[in-house]
A = this chain, B = another copy of it.
Amino acid sequence: MLEVKVISILWFIGVLAEAMTGALAAGKKQMDLFGVVIIGCVTAIGGGTLRDMLLGNYPLIWVENAHYLLAVAAASLLTVMIAPLMRYLSRLFLAIDALGLAVFSVVGAQKTLMLGYSIEIAIAMGVVTGVFGGVIRDVLCNQVPLIFKKELYALVALLTSALYVVMKLNGVVEWINLSVALTFGFSFRMLAIRYHWSMPKFDYQCQSDNIH
């Protein structure tokens, strides 16, 4: 089961990358070290945790295997130490983050299908897994979630999950499916950043106080 190993490694890289985005966001709000670790953990495991809570799928992965939690906490602390280097590593970091987004979306959809849910729910859970860690991070940092505003982050999660699910239903061999979906998600996200692709914005300025 080589593809299981490869996807596990990629998933773990993604988890660590998410922990780092959380730690950096916490640093922008001048949180203390403990706040950094908590935000890092919540960002990294929040999406998958919300997915499993929505599905009632217990025990949660990190509750059953606490090593994930320790690794994520360590990655958050490491981020604090190498923060001065982040300016120079920002391209590498964006690439790892894009990889994480693709892996989370695919893994989220994959797990949901394996639990027997419908294809719509599998795709929705791919999106939840891919983006809600970042949503919770932004809520805890008291800002409007970036993924609702920028560079197709959520659309990448949707299309990547959908691509995986559609190929799966059409009997594509798992390792080819994983390779194609991950390559697609990663490339799409990197291109969206490079060319500042974005979706149409909805700007609604109504002064009525009663429509909230």
Contact = CB atoms under 8 A, between A and B. Distances in A.
Interface of A: 21, 23-36, 38-39, 49, 53-56, 58-60, 63, 66, 69-70, 80, 83, 86-87, 90, 93-94, 117-118, 120-121, 124, 127, 134-135, 139-150, 152, 154-155, 158, 193, 198-206, 208, 210-212
Nearest to A81: B202
B149 A198 contact: no
Contacts of A144: 29, 31, 140-142
A32 B196 CA distance: 14
A34 B206 contact: no
Contact of A206 (B24, B143, B212): B24
A211 B145 contact: no
Contacts of A93: 211
A132 B98 CA distance: 30
Top 10 A-B residue pairs of the complex, sorted by shortest distance between their CB atoms? A27-B204, A35-B148, A56-B58, A66-B120, A32-B199, A27-B202, A31-B148, A34-B154, A142-B144, A146-B212
Nearest to A122: B66
A94 B143 CA distance: 28
A206 B155 contact: no
A92 to B, nearest CB: 11
A185 B113 CA distance: 41
Give the interface centre of A21, A127, A154 by most chain B CB atoms within 10 Å. A154
A60 B128 CA distance: 15
A161 to B, nearest CB: 13
Given A55-B59, A66-B121, 18 more contacts: A23-B202, A28-B205, A29-B144, A30-B201, A31-B202, A33-B202, A34-B148, A38-B148, A55-B63, A56-B58, A69-B124, A83-B202, A86-B204, A86-B211, A90-B208, A90-B211, A93-B211, A142-B142
